[in-house]
Amino acid sequence: MDDISGNISKQWNKHHAIYMSNANLPREMLEKEFCIRFVTSSPHTARMEMMSAMQDSIRKATESGVFSWDCKHEEEVMLELYGLFLGGDNPMHAEECSHAGLHCNFFCRTCEVGGTKEYKESDEGYKSIFVPGKPRTPTGTVEEIHAQFASALCSGASENIKKSVASSGVKDTRTAYILDTVVELGKKLHKRGAGVQAKPECEVKAILEKQLGDLLQGSTIEGAINPLLGVEGFDVHQDRPTEILHTVLLGVVKYFWGQSVYLLEKAKLLDVFQMHLDSIKKDGLNAPCLDTEYICHYKGGLIGKHFKSLAQVMPFLIQDLLPIHAIFVLVPQTFAFHVQRLR
């Protein structure tokens, strides 16, 4: 699932779409357009609502089986479906995991690595970023969401939920509206007016519980939260391949390129770099795009295919142009800044 442009006539008309592929297909067939099946799309429906409907469809097909014809053995067969993994970019993966994203203290959607800003800037905290933390589990995430619902019924709910998200990284977008509504009602009920006595805590809690029940519309909290957390045989925290384009090419490589160009321009060596790039032999490279003049002229507007090419040749081009200490400083700093995306 990812966001796409809904039409051609406008530059950007945002839709969210879900596609599926059969992972049993050979690798050379898997990415063929006719082997990628469109499931659903909508500019209005919430993303996790669409994912919930898709999951229900898979579950029903799994329970009843899908009958088909085996043309090789010439007999009727029954297929059983199950989800193997989810594809998408980093923000979409975070939402599918009920995770707050890369900008929270515990930034990894797969494990519990991280900490406060002060801790991560310390020697011990910096080292811990490069070591896998305790793996996240769907059960643990569900328990944390339940704890946030419990906090919403108590005094100081807004701050308590913020602290919970900061200390765990768990944020379920499917139930965010329900939590926000209950918290705002709690603020109004706890607010004291001039000469008006505050409502007893037990009365406030009873009102909030009733409001919560109305918002759930007869469903339980388990039925309202992220449906991907309860899929049998599927771990949403683990079964998501890392998205290479934004993670590596538009992440580590892009920032390394930007810092290198800054130093080259500062030393007035960009023309020399362009000559180095133009003189390199390209026959043995897996380089889809190495247009020297374009790369150096539009150095601030390059895309993935350019960074794919530059990543293969940069060490040979800058080894005598940048100070050796700058190269050793650039690489670790850039890697550390984006190591959270590589998880």
Question: What does 114-155 look like in DSSP terms, one character per residue?
Answer: ---HHHHHSHHHHHHTTS--PBP-HHHHHHHHHHHHHHHTST
Q: Compute CA distances 319 → 58, 230, 260, 271, whole Å.
A: 53, 51, 11, 15
148-171: average pLDDT: 88
Task: Tell whether 204 and 297 lie within a shared domain.
Answer: no
More confident residue, 319 or 40: 40
Task: Tell whether 164 and 274 lie within a shared domain.
Answer: no
Residue 138 is predicted with a pLDDT of: 93
Q: Is a pLDDT exceeding 50 seen at residue 207?
A: yes
Residue 340 is predicted with a pLDDT of: 46
254-274: average pLDDT: 90
Q: Which two tokens stand for residue 27?
A: 């690798």
Q: Is a pLDDT exceeding 50 seen at residue 333?
A: no
CB 236 within 8 A of CB 86: yes
Instruction: Report the mean per-residue pLDDT for the chain.
Output: 84
Has residue 69 been placed in a domain? Answer: no
Task: Tell whether 332 and 264 lie within a shared domain.
Answer: yes
Task: Tell whether 250 and 218 lie within a shared domain.
Answer: no
Q: Which amino acid is at 32?
A: K
Has residue 88 been placed in a domain? Answer: no
Residue 341 is predicted with a pLDDT of: 46
Has residue 185 been placed in a domain? Answer: yes
Has residue 220 been placed in a domain? Answer: yes
Task: Tell whether 203 and 261 lie within a shared domain.
Answer: no
Q: What is the dihedral sign for C-alpha 197, 201, 204, 206?
A: negative
Task: Tell whether 134 and 215 lie within a shared domain.
Answer: yes
Q: Domain count for the chain, please give it.
A: 3
Has residue 299 been placed in a domain? Answer: yes
Task: Tell whether 106 and 207 lie within a shared domain.
Answer: yes
Q: Among 116-120, 203-207, 284-288, where is mean pLDDT lowest?
A: 284-288
Q: Which band of pLDDT confidence, cut at 50, 70 and 90, is reported for residue 67? A: very high
Q: Which two tokens stand for residue 165?
A: 């998200």
Task: Tell whether 156 and 272 lie within a shared domain.
Answer: no
Has residue 85 been placed in a domain? Answer: no
Task: Tell whether 261 and 195 lie within a shared domain.
Answer: no
Task: Tell whether 214 and 267 lie within a shared domain.
Answer: no
Read off the pTM: 0.76
Task: Tell whether 120 and 143 lie within a shared domain.
Answer: yes
45-71: average pLDDT: 89
E strands of the chain, at which residues? 2-5, 14-21, 36-42, 66-70, 75-79
293-303: average pLDDT: 89
Has residue 84 been placed in a domain? Answer: no
What domain range includes position 282? 244-338
Task: Tell whether 115 and 205 lie within a shared domain.
Answer: yes
Helices 270-279 and 254-266 cross at an angle (nearest 10°) of 120
Has residue 179 been placed in a domain? Answer: yes
More confident residue, 229 or 190: 229
Q: Among 219-223, 245-249, 272-276, 336-340, where is mean pLDDT lowest?
A: 336-340
